[in-house]
Every structure is written in C-alpha cells, then in structure tokens.
Structure 1
Amino acid sequence: MAKGARKAGRVTAETARRITGISLPIGGIQWADPGPSERARVRDFLLALEDRRALYNPMQLEVRGDVEWSLRELRKDCTTALRSLDEGAFAVAAVRAIREACRRFHDDAQLQFRLFYHHDGGLEADAGFFVALGALRATIGQQIAVLAAHYDIDVESDLTSIMPQLPEAE
C-alpha cells in the first residue's frame, strides 16, 4: 500500500500529517510533504547508534582515544537529532539524556583516571575509564529501550546488548 494511503476506510496518521488545508464548500484538500515523521527521525538516530562500537564492544577491545572520539561524534549526532525534533517531541528527553551521559563520561573518566593514576599508577590507571564507560552504556541502553518501545522501532545488531533485559516469563 502506498505511503500515506487510506487503510480500511480510515485516514492514517501519515496521511493526516500531510493535509495542510481543506477548502469549503467544494471540498478540496491541500497536501504537502512535511518531511520525515518524528518516528522516522528517531529511527535514523537509533540507526546511527547501531554503528557506535563504543556502546557495545567488549571492554578488552576498547581503546580510550577511539571511544572518546566516538562519543564526541555521538554528542554531535544527539544535537543534530534535537534540532530536527519539535520541542515537545517525546524523544527530546531521551536524546538529551544520551547527550548528557556522553558529557558525564568525559568528565568522570578523566577525574577517575587521574585519581587512579596519581595514587596507584600502572595497570589500574584505566579503571575509571571502564567504570565510566559501563555507566554510560547503562544510561544509553535505558534511553534506547524507551525510544524503541515508544516509537515501535526494532533495534538490531549488538546495540541490544546494552538495553535492559526483561525477566524471563515462567
């Protein structure tokens, strides 16, 4: 069925989004393409997250500089997504929480890295980095789950590994 077509005599949400005016008494309808829907914008954002290995790679494969670069890029992705969404969109709070988690990661990883480095040195110098990365992944996983559930979007790839898991039904 064509995008925006009528389903079983009902006007779909996509069709309603495209109506810009109705003229009376003749009964004409004016159409426009309002651009991608909110769901489509959120889906695009989640697709970008699926390509951020820093969110799901095994810890032993993570390189501090690569992770920091990837998360700076993710912050840019968040800002771009926020610019494309209406202020009142459901996704705004979740995307802001993801962007804030990235900022917090940089602060926490640096602070804990320095504390471990000055006190212990050696192999424990990166402990703060891994603690901060775990906290970041947990926060982002929760927000992805909220967005995916609200907008009915399937999350594929390794990204699902950071999402909260529902308990098995008995």
Structure 2
Amino acid sequence: MKNPFKPAARVTAETARRITGISGPWGGVQWADPGPSEREHVRRFLIELEDRRVLYNPDWLEVRSQVDASVAEIRNICTTALKAFASSDFATVPIRSIRAACRRYLDDTTIEFRHAGFNGHRGALTAGAFLALGAFRATVGLEVARLAAHYDLEVEGELASVLPDLDEA
C-alpha cells in the first residue's frame, strides 16, 4: 500500500505556472492552462526558421528577389514572435537582433562594389547582396545558438549549418 503522507515529487516550473490558487483547510488547488511556455514559443520560432532556405542554401542557388522576400518574411516572423514575449524575457533580445539583421540586409544589399568582379547570372546576388547575406546568416546563426542554448532546444536540419562552430574557438 502506498504511503498517503509521502512527500510529493518535486514541483516543476511548468507545473507551478499552471497553479492559479489554493483553497480550504482540506486542500484543493485551482488549476488553469496559462498557454504555451516561453520555451515553447522559442521552439515554434525556431521551427519557422528551419524552413527558410535563405539561411543555408548555397549562394549560387539564390535568386535575389526570392532572398529579399524570404528575409522580409523572417522579419515578419520575428515581429510576430516578439508579441508572445515580455520585454524582460531572454528571447526578446536575440529575436530583436535577428529582426535588426533583416533590416540591415535589406539596407546593405544596395551597396555597390564596382571593382569586385562579381558577375553572376541574371537575378544572381550582387557583391553587396552577397556580403549582406553573409552578415545576415552570421547574425542569425549566433542568435539561434543563444536561444537554443538558453532554452535547451535542439536545432534541426539545415538550420544547424548556420550555427557557429565551437570547435574552432
């Protein structure tokens, strides 16, 4: 027979955030579902980024108009994700940094390097767009790594290819 007075197992943070009240002399707990946790919102954000080819496709497969549209979509994803977080949440700073990198990419693609000798096919990235894309991917990789490490999340698929290589550090 189980001991009814045995101490309960440790209450996790996930369980504690669902408790909304405690009642009466003989017990009772009010329980509610507060919605997805901060970690779950970050996991959903990373899943959205996993499907963005602009983050990991080889540069010769990129078409400028598609890259610009994808970066603009990532910017929208960031704005939507930020609405789920309080300004004091850890995820706010990395996601804002990714959103700023999107704006920076869209601004920096117009820079011309006339003597770079960077001629590609029609619709290919110019030298300025190529450099802006590299800086964009580096920023996203760093911020995704920060989010994944803080929230103990796995980064799946090709998105993992933009993460910084810690072996070279």
TM-score (structure 1 length as normaliser): 0.86
Q: Paired residue for 1:158? A: 158
Matched ranges for 1:69-88 at <5 A: 69-88=69-88
Higher relative contact order (CA 8 A, sep 6+): 2
Matching of residues 35-46 of structure 1 within 5 Å: 35-46=35-46
Normalised by the size of structure 2, how large is the TM-score? 0.87
Matches within 5 A, 1:20-169: 20-110=20-110, 112=111, 115-116=112-113, 123=119, 126-167=126-167
1:3 maps to what in 2? none
Highest CA radius of gyration, 1 or 2?
2
Task: Tell me which stretches of 4 or more aligned residues in structure 1 moved more than 2 Å.
Answer: 24-27, 119-122
Q: 1:109-151: per-residue Cα shift (whole Å, max 9, x none)?
A: 12x1xx336x779827800000000000000000000000000
Structure with the largest fraction of helix? 1
Unpaired runs of 5+ residues, structure 2, are 1-7
* Residue aligned with 1:123, SS: coil
Q: Cα distance 1:52–1:36, how it changes in 2: closer, same or farther (>3 A)?
A: same
Partner AA of 1:151 in structure 2 = Y
Mapped partners of 1:139, 1:67: distance in 2? 16
For the aligned residue pairs, the C-alpha RMSD in angstroms reads 2.1
